[in-house]
Structures are given as C-alpha cells and as structure tokens.
A and B are shown apart, each in its own frame.
Chain A
C-alpha cells in the first residue's frame, strides 16, 4: 500500500491491520511517534492524518486515508513549528517521551481552535499522559503557542 508521510510517498508491504505506529517506526524508520500503551490510553503515538490528531497505535495502516504528518514533519530543530517553539520557550519536557504526542495533539487542537479557553485546553490535552508531571507547563505552552500562532 502507499502511504504519504511528511510529504513523501512510501510503498509499504504490510498487513492491513498493522497499526500505523509500527509501520512508521519499524518499516519507515520514523521514530518520533512513540509506543506507550498500545490501547489509546497515553497519546504518545499521536500523529496527524490530514491535520487531525489520531492515535497511530489504534489506526490500522489499511484505514489511513490522507496524508500523515509526524512530529518530524511538523517542524525541525532549524525550522520549528510555533507549538515546538512554545514547548522550548517554557522548557516543558522532562523525560520527553510523551512530548511528541503532546505537541501533535496541541498543534491539531490549535489549528481547529485558535483562541481556546482553559477548559477547552484541559479537555483537549487530557488524553495524553505524562508520567513525569509536566502538565502545568503543557497547559502554559498551549496558551503561548496559541498567541504565537495568532501572530503568524
């Protein structure tokens, strides 16, 4: 099957029911999306399909309709996305393992809601676990990113 990831189209030979996460990680070598729980409880595997945040551990490769963007495609160290900039400005990450998922979730959310309330941020980000407890800074970084994105 064909998969377009970060603007590049790949031909992959996998079972239809292989979760997108493992196609990305083990077939394409794209390791930004992380395996955390395998049952959509932690959000570490979050990627975008046509700009919408999805849990790639639960999306079968055969059901991917649209372009996939991973954290690597959102921005790079030399060309950061506004959400990544906010994450760095506020020094959000601790172990950092959940943060690719957190950032992808936040980017998709802010794309749909450019002026979110605190309650909307809480609701949108509560599916992503952080075992280190970086939540206060995630909350602040989403707000900062919203401001940065409105300026763009």
Chain B
C-alpha cells in the first residue's frame, strides 16, 4: 500500500486527486470484504452465499454485474460461475444484480494510465494495483475497456467454488459424511451410494454456514464449459422476440414520453409554444426539461408526433459550430503549449530527421456516433421516497449517484434495474437520457414513465468519438525504418465524459495516443506525441476508444514508411516487433492470407496491426478495384487474448469488431453546422450492410501471459488494413476517413 500511495500522489492516475486522501484512509477499507448486497432483501428460505450466487426454492440466480451490450458478457459471467458451481447455465436465471460497490471494476482504471499492456515492470504492476484499489474504493461498478473477462475471470470462478463448497458443507452436516466422500454434479451434491441432494434443498442450511473461503480453483483440464463452444444464455430469447430490453419494459398505468432538446449541442431553450401539441390526441402534458421539452402521452408515436409539433425557440450552441472550423481548431492545437503527452520517445528523432529525406503525411479522422440500434430509452417510476429506473446502462452506480443529486433522494432509495442493451458501443457510459426521464418523473410522480428517443434525437444528441489530426514525419535508412515521429491532436474524451459523471480528469489523456504510443516495435528513433485540443462539442468513449482512430493514424503511416523504405510491410513489422505474442499474430495472419502471393490484376492486400487492451490483433484485408468501385473480398484476423474462453463468441466479437471498423471507415462521419449534427438517421450513417460483408477468417492465439477481453480489440486495425489494401490495389493513398470521400465502394 505504501507504494500505491506514492504512485497515486504522483497524480498521473485517473482521478487521483480526488482519491489521494481516500487511499490513505482506505487501506483498511480496501482490505475489508464488501457487504453482500444480496443479503438486504432475502426472504425466509432464500440464501445468497456470495454476491454472485443466490438460491431460493424457485432456483439458482447467477449475478452477472457487467453489462451485456451485445458482447455476451452476461452469458460469459454465468459460465465462469457455473464452471465451479457445477450447474448447467441453461437451468439458472441470469441477473445483473443491483448497483453496488462490491461489483467494482478493478481493471478498467489501468486503461487510463500510461502503462503499456506489454510492460511488466514494477511501476507497471504497481500502477495496475493502484487501479484495482481505486476501483474498489470508488465502487466503480462499470463496464468498459474490454475488462469484463480480465476482471471477472478469477472472481466469478471463485464465487462459484465458494458457493459449491458451502453447499457441500451443508450436505456434510445433513448426512454426517466427510468431505472426501461427497462430490457435485449438475446442481446436486452426490453421495457415495449415488443418491443426490438438490442444491435447492441445501440452501436454507447453507445460509447458516459461514461461506467456505479455503477453496482452490479447478485446473483448466477439468473444465466443462470454458474454452469449449458455448451456447449463449440469451440466444433463444433473442431469436424468439422474448427478451426484454430497456425499451420493452411494460408496467401497469405506464405513460409514454419522448424528449426534444436543442439540436445545436449545448444551446439550450429560450422558450416554447406547446399549444398545438397539447391539443393532439393522447397528449397528457408538455413539460420543460433542461435544454428542451418533454411530451407525455398514451402512446410513443403520439408523443413523437406531438414533440415535433412543439414550437421551440432554441439558443445558439456555445461550441465551435462547423466541422471545417473544428478541424482548424484541432490543427491549431498541435503546438508546444497544447502538448498533452509524450509517452513514447526512443532514440533521437530530431537528430535522425535532421538532414534526412523526410517523409511527411497528414491524416484526418472524423467524429463518429455510437448509434446503437436500440435508441436511448428508460422506464422510471418515482414516489416521494423512492426512484426505480429500468434501463440498459454500463454505469449503474453513477446513475444512482447522479440521480440522487438530481432528486435529492438518498442513493439507497434509488434502485437501478439493469436490462439487456440493444447495443451501446460506449453510448451507455452516459446517463443523460436517464436524467431527462427523471426530470419528467419529478413533475409526474407515482406514474411509471417510459421515455424513448426518436432516432433523430439519438443521432443528434450522441456524444461522438472525437475527430483527430495526425502528422507523421519519418525517415528510412538502408531499406529499413529509421525514424518514426507521430503527432496526434484531438480533444480529450476523459475531460468531456468524466466531467459529466462528476469526476475530475487529471493529467494527460492516454486515449489521445492509445493504440499508437504503446505499440511493440523497436524503431531506432520512435516518438509519439499527444496534443490536446481545447474542448468543443461533448464527446465520449466509442468502441475501442482512443485506439479506434489511432490504429488508422499509426498503421497508415507505418504502411507509407514501409513503402518508402521499399520493404514488405509484414517483413518489416516482424523485424521490428519485440513482443513475442504480437509477432505470432503477425506470422499467423501472414500464413492465413498467403501474404506475398500474387492476387492478380486490380487486387490488393493491406496489413495493419494494433495492440489495444492488451490484445495484439493483426488483420489483412483483400480488395478488388472493380468498375463499380472497391469491393472488400476477404479479411484475415489473428488475435491473442491469452486464453479463448468461448471460441464461438470469440469469433463473433472479432468479426463484429472488423465489420464495425470497416463500416465506419467506409462511409460514416458526423459533421456539424452551427453546433448541430447533420447526420440524423441511418440513411446518412449507414456503416456496412450484408451485401458488402466480406468473408472474415478468424484465428485466436493463446501466447499472451494474461487473459484479455475481445469486445473492442478487433476494431482498430480494420480501417488502416482497408486503406492500405486500397493503396495496394489502386496506388491511391487515402489519408482521410471516411474513405467514401475518396473512393466508391461496391
């Protein structure tokens, strides 16, 4: 702990100023086991052996506190518990549980630190330890940063093992048999004569026993579910329309609402005339909320229609309003006084470039919306003493704390019921939509309110992934990369999003350079500098966060440099790469794609590599330049997560990440006029459609020393691999996304 305190005071950690005092005080707190939140509402005959396993007469409930936004987190968490608990996951109920500090995330905070995932120095280990301490002290019940599996891998298996051993202890009491004569199988304790006692019948007795803590985790060779192809626990419901998303909650006496706020971000509302809307069928009321209006009606569509009929007088946006000017502001911030970080500075870049034949290139990436297919939606019910919230969210405890501030209620009286999310990609790390519904509830108590945004409201009030500009300067020597100097300027996501969560953002924003500064290449003179553009329109984390754009910036320049040196991009990366698992994914993708073989006329291959969230991912994209435009034929991907826990979902997440990366690179951007987003529905922000989807071959490698998550790492290399493939096929070097500004796609 001494070391942790020292590091925290250096204050390069996320929110360390707010926490520094708490760390000292919290030495005791950190070591103390948290209280099991499931004990609070147990009824007779029910037991909650750990915060993750609850048993009553109806059955077993597995608590899976990391949000499921489509990445399969609930199912994976359920399998981690059941692997040790010895039940069939299909027989259990899966529930995300209440908002609670005990469900803190001990891994995600390290992503905000300038610690390379490949580093195992004392400082790196200490920093990760500090992230865990802070996660626990702050009760960071949060899902993000591909952290669910790394964070929960031991924790949930241990929870399952503790519950199993406690149930066995109850069976020992009941039968008088010793431990070594009892085993477990599919929800039962098995006696030596082959007879069985159902876990459910042991639950009451188990509740009177202190949970058995002295348990060992099973050797992977004994696993029944992990590393085998799994059946996701949500698959039948999702294929039959029987799963309840946030938007599907129905309650007795519920009314339907929608909101409209100023399309010019942050512009607020001066006044409104609701006379026409009030007169429309089914409209119950038109209410003022922060920055706009809300309509409450007896049907969502009637609320939508009425919201459009309200005549609103909007104020002007306080931000730089037009995209050309926004890019100018980014370009202007690439100066010493805006320098935010220089985490990578090896060799002597200045000397190496001095007098050399300098290769220069400038790249641009746009704002991108999350646009999950389920629009922001929430059901709230507020009484004088209690607020209930049903929604898909990645941040249940922040929702609880922020709504406590908004309502004046004690946080204990705010109950967040997390539901399955119809996508997120980072959008549900925000609670702006919840706050709007609560503002309605404050004016309409004791009535359940379902608030749904129109798609246009969702697009124009997304908090985009930020735009960025990068300048690369480099030099080659004797057919090899000699100097690589990448400068990246962008506004800070941490500054923007943490402010909305009521948290300080201190020190450099690692996301400005993530996926660029931390790549495992030994270029003799290698420098990555981050510049922070002063805040403009609000922005937030988007699937793979900083690496989502920096993969393109780093790997496009890498490809240009290899081309300038006259070396093969795969050979040169392999020569420069010092990290063994990264070398292996590069070698694998080379083999999978038959790299170097002749593709024939008008065709090309592009390679890109990004190590993000500790996962090295290499991708090769194959394209054909047809007379109707570029066609993406095939994609080959190799990724290393240390251990693939479910090969079926692993492949799905990688393929999905590739399609997300390619689709946005092809044709998506958010642009602003007078502070208002111009893309307000999918016709203007299409992404990839099925007919454009290439074959995507995926290989999971297991050479990494730690287990990692795969929800995000597939995204960053897709865009640069595609752009590099287009260069190979056409000779056209594209330095700006989306690529559709420069080429047509079939």
A interface residues with partner B (beta carbon < 8 Å): 14-15, 18-19, 21-22, 25-27, 29, 31-39, 41-42, 44, 70-72, 75-77, 80, 84, 87-88, 91-100, 103, 122-123, 125-126, 128-139
Q: Are A132 and B242 in contact (CB under 8 A)?
A: no
Q: Which residues of A contact B683 (CB under 8 A)?
A: 39, 41
Q: Chain B contact residues (Cβ within 8 angstroms of A): what range?
A: 35 or more
User: Is there contact, CB below 8 Å, between A138 and B372?
Assistant: no
Q: Do residues A128 and B690 form an inter-chain contact, with CB atoms below 8 A?
A: yes
A21: nearest chain-B partner, CB-CB: B301
Interface members, chain B 631-664 (any A CB < 8 Å)? 648-649, 652-653, 655-660, 663
Q: A27-B299, A94-B72, A136-B693 are in contact. Are A77 and B656 (CB under 8 A)?
A: no
Q: Which chain B residues border A37 with CB–CB below 8 Å?
A: 455, 681-682
- Taking a contact as CB atoms closer than 8 A, the residue among A71, A75, A88, A134 that contacts B656 in the complex is A134
Say yes or no: is B238 at the interface (Cβ < 8 Å to chain A). Answer: yes
- A92 to nearest B CB, angstroms? 7
Contact check, B687 vs A18: say whether CB atoms are below 8 A apart: no
Whether the pair A129, B373 counts as a contact (CB closer than 8 A) is yes
CA A27 to CA B299, docked complex, whole Å:
7
Mask: chain B, 277-318; 1 = CB below 8 Å from A; 0 = not: 000010000000000000000111110100000000000000
Determine if B247 is an interface residue (Cβ-Cβ < 8 Å): yes
Given A39-B681, A122-B691, A99 and B238 contact (CB-CB distance below 8 Å):
yes
Contact in complex: B682, A41 (CB < 8 Å): yes
Cβ contact of B691, chosen from A14, A32, A72, A126, cutoff 8 A: A126
5 smallest beta-carbon distances between A and B, as pairs: A32-B241, A95-B70, A97-B422, A133-B659, A96-B238
Which of the segments B205-213, B229-237, B360-368 contacts the partner chain? B229-237
B235 touches A126 (CB 8 A): no
Contact of B657 among A33, A76, A133 (CB under 8 A): A133
Interface presence of B43 (CB below 8 A): no
Q: How far is the CA of A98 from the CA of B247 in the complex (A)?
A: 13
B625 contacts chain A at the CB level, 8 A cutoff: no
* Chain A to chain B contacts (Cβ below 8 Å), 22 pairs: A18-B299, A19-B301, A22-B301, A26-B298, A31-B244, A35-B455, A36-B374, A37-B455, A77-B240, A88-B239, A93-B239, A94-B70, A94-B652, A96-B238, A96-B420, A97-B373, A97-B422, A125-B690, A126-B690, A130-B690, A131-B423, A131-B687
Partner of A122 from B68, B299, B682, B690 at Cβ < 8 Å: B690
- Return chain B residues, CB-CB under 8 Å to A29: 250
Instruction: Kindly report which residue of chain B lies nearest to residue A128, judged by CB atoms.
Output: B690
| Known contacts A41-B683, A88-B235, A133-B663; is-contact A95 B423 (Cβ 8 Å) | yes
User: Residue B469 at the A interface, CB < 8 A?
Assistant: no
With A31-B250, A70-B241 as given contacts, are A36 and B373 in contact (CB-CB < 8 Å)?
yes
A15 CB contacts on chain B under 8 angstroms: 281
A34, B374: Cα distance in complex, Å = 8
| CB closest residue in chain A, given B372 | A131
- List B contacts of A39 (CB < 8 A): 455, 681-683
Q: Write out the residue numbers on chain B whose beta carbons fall within 8 Å of the beta carbon of A98.
A: 373
Given contacts A88-B239, A95-B70, A136-B655, contact A126 B689 (CB under 8 A): yes
Q: Would A22 and B300 count as touching, CB distance under 8 A?
A: yes
- By beta carbon, the residue of chain B nearest A72 is B241
**A133 contacts B658, CB within 8 Å?**
yes
- Chain B nearest Cβ from A8, distance in angstroms: 16
Task: Name the distance in Å between A52's Cβ and chain B's nearest Cβ.
Answer: 18
CB distance from B454 to the nearest CB of A (A): 7
Determine the residue in chain B with the shortest Cβ distance to A104: B241
In the complex, whether B688 has a CB less than 8 A from a CB of chain A is: yes
Does B70 contact A132, Cβ atoms closer than 8 Å? Answer: yes
Q: Which of B371, B656, B686, B690 contacts A94 (CB 8 A)?
A: B656
Across the interface, which residues of B come within 8 angstroms of A128, CB to CB?
690
Q: Which residues of chain B in 366-394 are interfacial with respect to chain A, using CB atoms and an 8 Å cutoff?
A: 371-375
B301: which A residues are within 8 A, CB to CB? 18-19, 21-22, 26
Shortest CB–CB separation between residue A84 and chain B, in angstroms? 5
Q: Kindly state the separation between the CA atoms of A42 and B682 in the bound complex, as whole angstroms.
A: 7
Residue pair B455, A36 in contact (C-beta under 8 Å): yes
Consensus secondary structure, chain A interface: loop
Assembly CA distance A99 to B374 (angstroms): 12
What chain A residues lie within 8 Å of B256 (beta carbons)? 26
Closest chain B CB from A117 CB (angstroms): 13
Interface check B673, CB cutoff 8 A: no
> What CA separation (Å) do A92 and B658 show in the bound complex?
16
Nearest A residue to B658, CB-CB: A133
> What residues of A have a CB within 8 angstroms of the CB of B558 in the complex?
none
> B655 contacts A133, CB within 8 Å?
yes
Query: What is the bound-complex CA distance between A23 and B663, given in angstroms?
Result: 33
> For residue B250, which residues in chain A have a CB less than 8 angstroms away from its CB?
29, 31
Q: Say whether, besides A129-B682, A139-B693, A97 and B245 are in contact (CB < 8 Å).
A: yes
Given contacts A32-B240, A94-B70, 8 further A-B contacts (CB under 8 A): A35-B300, A72-B240, A80-B239, A128-B690, A131-B425, A131-B660, A133-B659, A135-B688
Q: Does B696 contact A (CB under 8 A)?
A: yes
Give the distance in Å from the alpha carbon of A34 to the alpha carbon of B657 in the complex.
23
In the bound complex, residues from chain A placing their C-beta under 8 Å from that of B39 are none
Bound complex: CA A41 to CA B299 (Å): 22
The chain A residue sitting closest to B652, CB to CB, is A94
Contact indicator B374/A97 (Cβ below 8 Å): yes
B20 proximal to A (CB < 8 A): no
> What is the chain B residue whose CB lies nearest that of A119?
B691
A84 and B240 form a contact (CB under 8 A) = yes
Cross-chain contact of A88 among B236, B452, B682 (Cβ < 8 A): B236
The smallest C-beta distance from A86 to any residue of chain B, in angstroms, reads 9
Q: How far is the CB of A89 from chain B (nearest CB, A)?
A: 10
Q: Which residue of B lies closest to A33 (CB)?
A: B241
Task: Decide: A131 near B649, CB < 8 A? Known: A88-B239, A94-B71.
Answer: no
Is the Cβ of A91 less than 8 Å from the Cβ of B682? no
Contact A133 B688 (CB under 8 A): yes
CB distance from B394 to the nearest CB of A (A): 13
Which chain A residue lies CB-closest to B696?
A: A136
Would A38 and B374 be within 8 Å (CB), given that A71-B240, A91-B231 are in contact? no
A41 to B655, CA, bound (A): 23
Task: Please give the distance in Å from B685's CB to the nearest CB on chain A.
Answer: 10
Do residues B372 and A31 form an inter-chain contact, with CB atoms below 8 A?
Answer: no
Please, how many angstroms separate the alpha-carbon atoms of A31 and B419 in the complex? 15
Q: Does B533 reach chain A (CB closer than 8 Å)?
A: no
Contacts of B245 on A, CB cut-off 8 Å?
Answer: 34, 97
* A135-B659 contact given A39-B681, A97-B374, CB 8 Å threshold: yes
**A133 pairs with B660, CB closer than 8 A:** yes
Are A35 and B247 CB-contacts (below 8 A) given A15-B281, A80-B240? yes
The smallest C-beta distance from A83 to any residue of chain B, in angstroms, reads 9
For the complex, give the distance between the alpha carbons of A4 and B649 in Å: 38
The answer on a CB contact under 8 Å between A76 and B681 is: no
> What's the minimum C-beta distance from B307 to chain A, rounded to whole angstroms?
13
A55 to chain B, nearest CB (A): 13
Closest A residue, CB atoms, query B653: A94
Q: How far is the CA of A150 from the CA of B652 in the complex (A)?
A: 27
* Complex contact B648–A91 (CB within 8 A): yes
B242 near A96 (CB under 8 angstroms)?
Answer: no
Closest CB of chain B to A98's CB: distance in Å? 5
Residue among A75, A84, A95 making CB contact with B421, cutoff 8 Å: A95
Closest to B72 in A: A94
Q: Which residue of B lies closest to A25 (CB)?
A: B300
Known A131-B373, A134-B652; contact A26-B300, beta-carbon cutoff 8 A:
yes
